[in-house]
Amino acid sequence: MTALEVFWRATGTPTVLDTIFMTWSDEMLIMLGGALILAGIAAVHYVRQILE
């Protein structure tokens, strides 16, 4: 853990990810994960086209 993580845990302040996971529904998190996977695939495809 970094010093910042230790500080956040010690103060009890929720991090941005903690807040997202507490407030977003499971469906929203699944859609976010799917969108990130598709964006990753598109980025890899784009880079491979450039390198060819």
Residues 6+ apart with CB under 8 A from 29: 20, 21
User: Which residue is associated with the tokens 């302040």?
Assistant: 13
Q: Is the dihedral of CA 42, 47, 48, 52 positive or negative?
A: positive
> What pLDDT band is residue 47 in, cutting at 50, 70 and 90?
very high
The answer to whether 15 touches 8, Cβ cutoff 8 Å, is yes
Q: Tens digits of per-residue pLDDT, 25-36?
A: 778 888 888 999
Domain ranges of the chain: 13-51
